[in-house]
């Protein structure tokens, strides 16, 4: 049995998803095979080129026509954030299973509408938080849930980038609130929030601050992924999202959290990191060294206490048995393969995948609670949202 996929979006995430669909049956032969049926995008010439390069059978420029087709089982949404809601609602109404990139929507209200529509349609739905699917992160989950770290006291996380550090870098869509919803907060911080939910538990209240360091930028002549071209001497437009957002949080279980997301950390290409401290030990993770986890246990003899480096490539670690011999590393693209393995397994087993739209809604509630705390300069409870 195969699942025929219609994918809307063909740039950065479109390439990552396409690679995952192609690799999944080779390395996980017992999974339902995703059939790359149709790729969709507004630019007819560009999407046809993407179809040929990525391996899709057909190209389409009208997403409504794609959703109306009877021979499509899954709608994969990786278009810009402002398009997520309309496409998802239509796909749910048509009875298609939906995979949607994060953030789920531009607002909490929209995200809740998407979840309600998916639940009423009885479809499978998943939000694209791919970092959960790193083997080392899966090991952290195991250490936390098994109690080997004891009572969790702290979760501190930071996602640092520098790709817009140049004040003349063009005004790409990710810097426009009406398209992206938010800046580093929703793009980078959303991943940190989901990891916090997954590894530690629900957040109870938050307080934050943010800043937009560069208020105007040259208009973009062309853009793809995290790159763009534009003239620094040409017309400029307003940056309407945050360049950096930091916030503190209390978890419902009593743990404390700190979160930092910025695109203005020189030398950090994509430093997605967290540390968890418990009564019996600690862990540290940095996605730029995603195959490694630093682990400390208080039970170690005093003369050998210290953080140890665990390489999560042995067959005992999640997903590792499908890949290479121990010590042979995997990369960013593999998190998407593992993500779609969860999605196709959930469809085959008739259960909701994780993270679902419900997790996307939970993340959106925290994002907006932080925004409200910044606007009102106070602690905001997640229950207010």
So what's the pLDDT on residue 225?
66
What residues pair up with 40 in beta bridges, in sequence order?
8, 60
Please state at what angle helix 135-145 crosses helix 190-199, rounded to 10 degrees. Answer: 40
Do 37 and 172 lie in one domain? The reply is no
Burial label for 342, CB within 10 Å (0-12, 13-18, 19+), is: middle
Of 70, 102, 131, the residue at which a domain comes to its end is 131
Q: Does 122 lie in the same domain as 170?
A: no
Show pLDDT as tens, one digit a residue, over the chain (385 residues): 789 999 999 999 999 999 999 999 999 999 999 999 999 999 999 999 999 999 999 999 999 999 999 999 999 999 999 999 999 999 999 999 999 999 999 999 999 999 999 999 999 999 999 999 999 999 999 999 999 999 999 999 999 999 999 999 999 999 999 999 999 999 999 999 999 999 999 999 999 999 999 999 999 887 776 777 787 778 999 999 999 999 999 999 999 999 999 999 999 999 999 999 999 999 999 999 999 999 999 999 999 999 999 999 999 999 999 999 999 999 999 999 999 999 999 999 999 999 999 999 999 999 999 999 999 999 999 999 9
Non-local CB neighbours of 153 within 8 Å, separated by 6+ positions: 255, 256, 277, 278, 279
Whether 41 is covered by a domain: the verdict is yes
Q: Which of 120, 123, 64, 80 is closest to 99 using CA atoms? A: 123
CATH number for 82: 3.40.50.720
3-state secondary structure of 73: coil
Place of tokens 């208080």: 298
In a domain, 36, yes or no: yes
Domain's final residue, options 131, 148, 173? 131
The reply to whether 127 and 191 lie within a common domain is: no
Residues 326, 220: one domain? yes
Domain boundary among 90, 111, 131: 131
Q: Say if 245 falls within a structural domain.
A: yes
384 assigned to some structural domain: no
The residue behind tokens 């943010």 is 210
Residue 240 falls inside a structural domain: yes
The predicted pLDDT at position 232 comes to: 77
Domain that holds residue 47: 2-131
Is 170 found in the same domain as 110? Answer: no
**383, part of any domain:** no
Residue 259's CATH number? 3.30.360.10
Judgement on whether residues 165 and 268 belong to the same structural domain of the protein: yes
Say yes or no: 123 and 142 in one domain.
Answer: no
In a domain, 154, yes or no: yes
**Residue 164 included in any domain:** yes
């Amino acid at each position: 049995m195969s699942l025929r996929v219609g994918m809307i979006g063909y740039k950065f995430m479109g390439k990552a998803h396409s690679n995952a669909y192609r690799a999944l049956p080779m390395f996980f032969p017992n999974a339902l095979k995703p059939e790359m049926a149709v790729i969709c995008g507004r630019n007819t010439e560009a999407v046809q080129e993407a179809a040929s390069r990525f391996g899709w059978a057909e190209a389409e420029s009208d997403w409504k026509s794609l959703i109306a087709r009877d021979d499509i089982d899954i709608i994969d949404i990786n278009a810009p954030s402002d398009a997520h809601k309309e496409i998802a609602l239509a796909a749910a109404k048509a009875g298609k299973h939906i995979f949607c990139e994060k953030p789920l929507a531009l607002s909490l209200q929209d995200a809740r509408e998407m979840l309600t529509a998916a639940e009423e349609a009885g479809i499978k739905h998943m939000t694209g938080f791919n970092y959960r699917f790193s083997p080392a992160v899966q090991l952290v989950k195991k250490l936390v849930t098994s109690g080997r770290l004891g009572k969790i006291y702290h979760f501190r996380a930071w996602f640092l980038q520098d790709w817009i550090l140049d004040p003349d870098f063009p005004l790409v869509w990710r810097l426009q609130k009406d398209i992206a919803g938010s800046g580093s907060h929703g793009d980078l911080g959303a991943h940190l929030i989901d990891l916090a939910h997954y590894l530690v538990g629900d957040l109870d209240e938050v307080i934050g601050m943010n800043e937009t360091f560069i208020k105007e930028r040259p208009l973009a002549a062309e853009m793809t992924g995290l790159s763009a071209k534009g003239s620094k001497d040409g017309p400029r437009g307003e940056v309407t999202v945050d360049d950096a957002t930091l916030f503190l949080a209390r978890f419902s279980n009593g743990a404390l959290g700190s979160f930092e997301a910025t695109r203005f950390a020189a030398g950090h290409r994509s430093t997605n990191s967290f540390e968890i401290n418990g009564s019996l030990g600690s862990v540290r993770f940095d996605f730029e060294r995603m195959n490694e986890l630093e682990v400390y246990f208080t039970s170690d003899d005093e003369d050998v206490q210290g953080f140890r480096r665990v390489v999560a490539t042995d067959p005992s670690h999640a997903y590792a048995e499908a890949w290479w011999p121990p010590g042979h590393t995997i990369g960013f693209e593999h998190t998407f393969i593992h993500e779609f393995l969860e999605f196709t397994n959930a469809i085959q087993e008739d259960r909701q995948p994780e993270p679902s739209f419900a997790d996307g809604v939970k993340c959106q509630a925290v994002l907006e609670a932080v925004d409200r705390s910044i606007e009102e300069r106070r602690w905001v409870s997640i229950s207010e949202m």
